């Protein structure tokens, strides 16, 4: 029996992100699409107790074997996490494009 495919995260952007990785350094890629600080890197925003049930995908740790340029996936739909495999070119992903970063909840001010 074939294993089910990994669950995909929210679509953050429809273009990959080019990064230069340094040999021996560890990088944590955001697989859920909720990171708010420096996409495509994870800031553990998905660890919020309120969003655990809706989050699909998760962080992927990558240790660079050599210094080089890589294209990291920003649509979070790749089958080769954390690397871009061109999935962002599909019509389904292009039609799901977001013009701004989403917020799951609105902060409330004090009354």
pLDDT at 98 over 70: no
Query: What is the overall mean pLDDT for the chain?
Result: 75
CA separation for the pair 76, 14 (Å, rounded): 9
Q: For residue 17, what are its two tokens?
A: 């992100």
The pLDDT tens digits of the residues spanning 26-65 come to 999 988 888 888 888 888 877 775 666 666 677 889 999 9
Place 106 in a pLDDT band, splitting at 50, 70 and 90: very low
Tell me what the mean pLDDT of segment 84-110 comes to. Answer: 61
Distance CA 38, CA 41 (A): 6
Give the single-character DSSP code of 107: -
Whether the full predicted model's pTM is greater than 0.75, yes or no, is no
């Amino acid at each position: 029996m074939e294993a089910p495919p990994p669950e995909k995260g929210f679509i953050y952007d429809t273009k990959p992100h080019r990064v230069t990785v340094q040999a021996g350094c560890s990088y944590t890629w955001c697989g859920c699409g909720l990171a708010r600080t420096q996409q495509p890197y994870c800031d553990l925003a998905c660890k919020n107790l309120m969003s655990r049930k809706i989050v699909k995908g998760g962080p992927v740790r990558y240790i660079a074997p050599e210094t080089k340029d890589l294209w990291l996936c920003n649509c979070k739909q790749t089958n080769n996490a954390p690397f871009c495999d061109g999935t962002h070119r599909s019509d389904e992903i292009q039609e799901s494009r977001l013009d701004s970063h989403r917020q799951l909840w609105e902060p409330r001010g004090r009354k």
